[in-house]
Amino acid sequence: MKPSYYFSMALALLLFLGTNNLQGQSNKAKKSKAAAAKKAPAATFTPGRDADFLQYTNSRWVDSVMKTLTPEERIAQLIMIPVYSNRDQAHIDEISKLITTYKVGGLIFFQGGPVRQAKMTNRYQQESKVPLMVSIDGEWGLAMRLDSTIRFPYQMAIGGIENERLIYEMGAEIARQCQRLGVHVNFAPTIDINNNANNPVIGFRSFGEDKYNVASKSIAYMKGMQDNHVLASAKHFPGHGDTNVDSHYGLPLINFSRIRLDSVELHPFRALMEKGLGSVMVAHMNIPVLDNTPNLASTLSKPIVTGLLKDELKYKGLVFTDALNMEGVAKFFPPGVVDVKALLAGNDVMLNTMDVKTTIQEVKKAIANKEITQEEIDARVRKVLAAKQWVGLDKWEPIETKNLVADLNNPHAQYLNRQLTEASLTLLRNKNNILPIQTLDTLKVAALAIGTTKETAFQRDLARYTQVDTFFLKPTNSIEELQAMKEKLKDYNLIIAGVHALQLKAGSSNFGITAEMNLFLKELIRNKKTIVSVFGNVYSLAEMESLAKADAVIAAYQENDVTQDLTSQLIFGGIGAQGKLPVTVSNAFKIGDGLLTHGGVRLAYSMPEAVGIKSKDLAGIDSLVYQAIREEAAPGAQVLVAKDGKVIYHKAFGYHTYEKEQAVKVDDLYDLASVTKISTSMAALMRLKGEGRFDENQTLGHYLPMAAGTNKADLNYRDILTHQARLKSWIPFWKETVKKNGNFKWRTFKADSSARFPIRVADNLYIHRKYSDKIYKEIMESPLNEKPGYVYSDLSFILAPKVVENITGVGFETYLQNSIYKPLGATTLTFNPYKHFSATRVVPTEFEPHFRKQLLHTTVHDEGAAMLGGVSGHAGLFGNSNDVAKLMQLYLNDGEYANKRYIAENVVKEYSKCQFCEQGNYRALGFDRPAKPGAQNSNAAPGAPAESFGHSGFTGTYAWVDPVNNLVYVFLSNRVNPTRENSKLGKLNTRTNVLQVVYDAMGKSKEKQPAEASAQ
């Protein structure tokens, strides 16, 4: 019979006897085994089941490299040394010496930065005789080790995601980033089943406690990486999930039965192996049921590595040790000795070898002592080289460092991270369906940050939806301080609490949750409507007493800006809750728990990729706005774009003034100028229309008694709102208040307020309490234009508040606030912002030389509106782009927002239609619209469809609604600072050109869709 037959029989006998001691094999059998491996490993390669790289074990490239290697260099190919890109030049040079002297096979990079790592990698690859296999621990992406990179959710969060396609795509994106950085092996996924809540080393690094869920999620992650030619590594064999010792600091003792190991811990390993797992990392654990040698880690155990993993489970891929400088092994064996023991146990690659020279010497001794043969070493080297060929190292090229950070933080990856985070958020309590929050105008909301004294991203993001007041609770507040906080919160009827700064790992500190925090939270839940979001290790929920009694509980798994952003959106209905708890935390919160809610209730905040647009295709917006600032068309601006109910672009640019003392923020307030018309007058009139209390076919005199007997009485409102009622364009009311010497007439203005002069027009300027009557009288007495036709006029909108007040019996501002703005959560839409906001949040307008003779700040720019006390229907409203967008989204939704109807169905649709196109007047009722196709105009972007509508404002503002493309666009600036004579913004067409960038981007996305569909 052939020698291979005797080898097979010998191996079967050894396995049957339960020993892995192969020293009894004859030299003839060993040579036969080596020859068989050398001749035909491809015949034993099973596509789909075995690691793909095994097909290259006897490739020409592997053969050619093997011929160049000395016995010592072959040993070195099985060594990976630790490298840090955040250390000094001495460390960099030391690694270089190890590579050039000993020809080590690979590197594992730890802390540092991507560009530094890339430069080091390029140097080391050029110095290396054989291309180096570069690895990293990147369980949640490169950010696990490197700064300036994207941090994907922890595996515990991913364990709660239902959509495994997202997990596959995460693996694929991590692989793409690894390839960009010259990394070939990612030591992920962690497939340990975390069925011990007190596990100090795995915990949040696990997909959960259910073996099927862990396996399923791990396969998706693994395939995403390996389909993109980055080697995955399942860890920590045979299962590190049920331990109470961190193997970095000690040797965990595992006293499970073999039946338990087979049925639980080994299940995910088997599942991944069946799907072609590329590599396995062996843990440092003492497992008596598999090897009862005292103080011997599984990494160094031949019965475990060779007997169980390689022989019984028939695993053929690469086997890595866990780091050999960890105390689980290092405290028992010195460097070099521990490495050779790992090699003798059956590991292919020794990770974190700390003494390369000694390791090579010790392996040579083992060969001389016939503990291992050169042929066995060679077989493992071939596997390593085959893996190197599979990852492309046979055609190695230097890493391009240009744009490296931008490439690693690409928009696709950022959006994917958002999708993963959104899908993981787990709603565990929702009493009476409090989430998503429905009514806003009945709520006084406190955003309480527990565990920190600094404003959180969560608090800032909640404020996008409504007014929230912020409070902070330190972990160690005294009883007196807790009582004081309780007093501060007594007038609030909704508390949204975020629990922050929690420790990630399990331990004696209860994740950082103190008795004081517990006491206060317990009281809060008992006495107030309370929503609690926990930003940290999900096991921390068990440490919070009475948490299950809260009105709503959200497990967010970790703390970062993205998680806080999306949790705030979940609370207000921008997005829905989807996640399921992957572990049992307590009797109240069990595996599989997770309530579902629907998103799309209010605006969501996302990225262009969320609606099929590429972020790079909107880069032109930045260019246009910066051009306008550079050419001093405006000192700053806000730009917001929302599509399909998602804010996909929202930025602030420049400064409040050209002095550049205060940068513009996205929540700063601008004077909206004529955007006031569609935000106040039209909002009110359309609402009243839907209630049957206003009809555009009626006359002004029908609604406004003061018009009786004047030439305005019979003006038809349809003509009025389309600016063809023959009204004068405007009246400079302020001129009537000034004497020839430039001083104000004594019955008009005073420098100080009083009972007769109570109305603030500007700083140190107050108008007579009845002067508005004179303004209205002047309008009524003004002549009509001789010729009929379109003339844009402010006058009817100045009268609009009186019309609304006559119909409703309620003050104009009060009506708008109570009926529309407050329920919408548009809390910055206001007249006279000096009454409600800090001046630092309000952007100044003009330094006005002719009337008020001062910088206008927190009071309205328009003279007429100012003389009316800042409240008018043509100008006077202030707000930020976010709140303007809410109102525009209401219009886009034909009068509905957040499941509430503000304006009757079809009213906005009818009012936004062209009324007299056949006569050459292309305006809608109150709204501006694009002129006829092909006409040269600046009121709309060229790509805006005829159905779109909106308005522009004199101060440099613009709001536009496109129902065809489901689009809302808001541009706010103060182009009149420091003077209204500056017309550059209009000449540059910045506002409409910015909108055209959006249309162009949508066009590109539509062009790509058919190509992508055919490719699929």
pLDDT digits (tens, 9 = 90+) for 754-789: 999 999 999 999 999 999 999 999 999 999 999 999
Least confident stretch, 1-15, 467-481, 709-723, 745-759: 1-15
Final residue of a structural domain among 373, 392, 411: 392
Residue percentage of the chain with pLDDT more than 90? 88
The answer to whether residue 658 is domain-embedded is no
Rounded to an integer, what distance in angstroms lies between the CA atom of residue 215 and that of residue 210? 9
Rounded to an integer, what distance in angstroms lies between the CA atom of residue 498 and that of residue 496? 7
Residue percentage of the chain with pLDDT more than 70? 94
Closest CA to 516 of 471, 451, 590: 451
DSSP, residue by residue, 20-43: --GGGS-HHHHHHHHHHHHH-HHH
Mean pLDDT of all residues in 885-894: 98
pLDDT digits (tens, 9 = 90+) for 199-247: 888 889 999 999 999 999 999 999 999 999 999 999 999 999 888 787 7
Rounded to an integer, what distance in angstroms lies between the CA atom of residue 702 and that of residue 54? 88
The answer to whether residue 997 is domain-embedded is yes
Helices assigned H by DSSP within 441-553:
457-462, 479-488, 515-527
Supply the DSSP symbol for 154: P
CA distances from 438 to 646, 647, 825, 897 (A): 18, 20, 11, 10
- Long-range contacts, stretch 23-28, CB < 8 angstroms, 24+ apart: 23/370, 23/371, 28/3
Which helix (H) or strand (E) element contains residue 552? Answer: strand 552-555
Q: Provide the pLDDT for residue 506.
A: 83
Q: Are residues 133 and 12 in the same domain?
A: no
Which residues does residue 901 pair with via DSSP β-bridges, in sequence order?
Answer: 896
Q: Are residues 380 and 285 in the same domain?
A: yes
Rounded to an integer, what distance in angstroms lies between the CA atom of residue 885 and that of residue 672? 13
Final residue of a structural domain among 367, 392, 417: 392
Rounded to an integer, what distance in angstroms lies between the CA atom of residue 113 and that of residue 87? 11
> Do the bridges between strand 670-671 and strand 636-643 make them parallel or antiparallel, or are there none, so unpaired?
unpaired
Q: Are residues 906 and 758 in the same domain?
A: yes
At residue 750's C-alpha, the angle toward residues 745 and 753, to 5°, is: 150
Closest CA to 497 of 465, 464, 452: 452
Q: How many residues would you count in the chain?
A: 1016
Q: What are phi and psi of 569, to 5 degrees?
A: -70, -35
Closest CA to 625 of 649, 645, 606: 649
Q: Are residues 145 and 243 in the same domain?
A: yes
Burial of residue 635 (number of CB atoms within 10 Å: 0-12, 13-18, 19+): buried
Which helix (H) or strand (E) element contains residue 417? Answer: helix 411-424
Specify the higher pLDDT residue, 936 or 598: 598
At residue 306's C-alpha, the angle toward residues 304 and 307, to 5°, is: 65
Q: What are phi and psi of 970, to 5 degrees?
A: -135, 130
Domain limits for position 741 = 620-647+664-1002
End-to-end CA distance of the chain: 53
Q: Provide the pLDDT for residue 938.
A: 63
3-state secondary structure 8-26: HHHHHHHHHCCCCCHHHCC
DSSP, residue by residue, 588-604: SS-TT--B-----SS-E
Say if residue 35's pLDDT is above 60. no
Residue 259: how many other CB atoms lie within 10 Å: 9
Whether 863 contacts 845, CB under 8 Å? no
Say if residue 423's pLDDT is above 80. yes
Q: Provide the pLDDT for residue 619.
A: 97
Closest CA to 323 of 283, 364, 370: 283
Q: Provide the pLDDT for residue 212.
A: 98
Rounded to an integer, what distance in angstroms lies between the CA atom of residue 760 and that of residue 764? 8
Mean pLDDT of all residues in 494-500: 98
pLDDT digits (tens, 9 = 90+) for 387-403: 999 999 999 999 999 99
Q: Provide the pLDDT for residue 933.
A: 63
Say if residue 609's pLDDT is above 70. yes
The answer to whether residue 643 is domain-embedded is yes
Say if residue 567's pLDDT is above 50. yes
Whether 261 contacts 303, CB under 8 Å? no
Say if residue 640's pLDDT is above 60. yes
pLDDT digits (tens, 9 = 90+) for 831-843: 999 999 999 999 9
The answer to whether residue 414 is domain-embedded is no
The answer to whether residue 181 is domain-embedded is yes
**Helix/strand/coil for 253:** strand
Q: In CATH, what number is assigned to the domain containing residue 463?
A: 3.40.50.1700
Q: Which residues contact 721 (CB under 8 A, 6 or more apart)?
A: 682, 685, 696, 796, 911, 925, 926
Mean pLDDT of all residues in 182-189: 98
Specify the higher pLDDT residue, 938 or 9: 938
Q: Are residues 315 and 435 in the same domain?
A: no
Please provide the average confidence, as pLDDT, over all residues in the chain.
93
Q: Are residues 34 and 54 in the same domain?
A: no
Say if residue 6's pLDDT is above 50. no
Rounded to an integer, what distance in angstroms lies between the CA atom of residue 885 and that of residue 638? 12
Say if residue 27's pLDDT is above 70. no
- Cα dihedral 284, 285, 288, 290 in deg (nearest 10): -60
Q: Which residues contact 967 (CB under 8 A, 6 or more apart)?
A: 641, 642, 643, 892, 948, 960, 961, 998
The answer to whether residue 284 is domain-embedded is yes
3-state secondary structure 795-818: HHHHHHHHHHHHHHCCCHHHHHHH
Tokens linked to 732: 């400079």
Q: Provide the pLDDT for residue 195.
A: 87
> Do the bridges between strand 900-901 and strand 896-897 make them parallel or antiparallel, or are there none, so unpaired?
antiparallel
Q: In CATH, what number is assigned to the domain containing residue 69?
A: 3.20.20.300
**Helix/strand/coil for 531:** strand
Say if residue 257's pLDDT is above 60. yes
Confidence of residue 509 (pLDDT cuts 50, 70, 90): confident
Rounded to an integer, what distance in angstroms lies between the CA atom of residue 293 and that of residue 253? 12
Closest CA to 794 of 738, 868, 878: 868
Residue 709: how many other CB atoms lie within 10 Å: 10
Q: Are residues 881 and 789 in the same domain?
A: yes
Mean pLDDT of all residues in 123-133: 98
Supply the DSSP symbol for 203: G
Amino acid sitting at position 174: I
Closest CA to 153 of 165, 166, 136: 166
Mean pLDDT of all residues in 23-36: 41
Q: Are residues 386 and 510 in the same domain?
A: no
Say if residue 23's pLDDT is above 50. no
Say if residue 1013's pLDDT is above 80. no
Say if residue 65's pLDDT is above 50. yes
Q: Provide the pLDDT for residue 682.
A: 98
Rounded to an integer, what distance in angstroms lies between the CA atom of residue 209 and that of residue 592? 11
Say if residue 39's pLDDT is above 70. no
> Do the bridges between strand 749-750 and strand 765-767 make them parallel or antiparallel, or are there none, so unpaired?
antiparallel
Q: Are residues 778 and 822 in the same domain?
A: yes
Q: Provide the pLDDT for residue 1004.
A: 92
Q: Are residues 220 and 260 in the same domain?
A: yes
Specify the higher pLDDT residue, 35 or 155: 155
Which helix (H) or strand (E) element contains residue 178? Answer: helix 164-180
Q: Are residues 506 and 642 in the same domain?
A: no
Supply the DSSP symbol for 311: I
Say if residue 305's pLDDT is above 80. yes
Supply the DSSP symbol for 713: T
Least confident stretch, 327-341, 771-785, 944-958: 327-341
Amino acid sitting at position 360: I
Q: Is 5 left (phi over 0), alpha (psi -120 to 50) or beta?
A: alpha
Q: Provide the pLDDT for residue 1016.
A: 42
The answer to whether residue 398 is domain-embedded is no
The answer to whether residue 865 is domain-embedded is yes
Q: What are phi and psi of 244, to 5 degrees?
A: -120, 15
Rounded to an integer, what distance in angstroms lies between the CA atom of residue 962 and that of residue 981? 31
Q: State how many domains the chain has.
A: 4
Mean pLDDT of all residues in 451-463: 97
pLDDT digits (tens, 9 = 90+) for 955-964: 999 999 999 9
Helix, strand, coil % over all residues of the chain, rounded to 5 = 40, 15, 45
Which helix (H) or strand (E) element contains residue 574? Answer: none
3-state secondary structure 846-908: CEECCCCCEECCCCCCCHHHHHCCCCCCCCCEEECHHHHHHHHHHHHCCCEECCEECCCCCHH
Q: Are residues 31 and 112 in the same domain?
A: no
DSSP, residue by residue, 922-967: ---SSSB---STT---SSS-TT--TT-EEEEETTTEEEEEETTTTE
Supply the DSSP symbol for 437: -
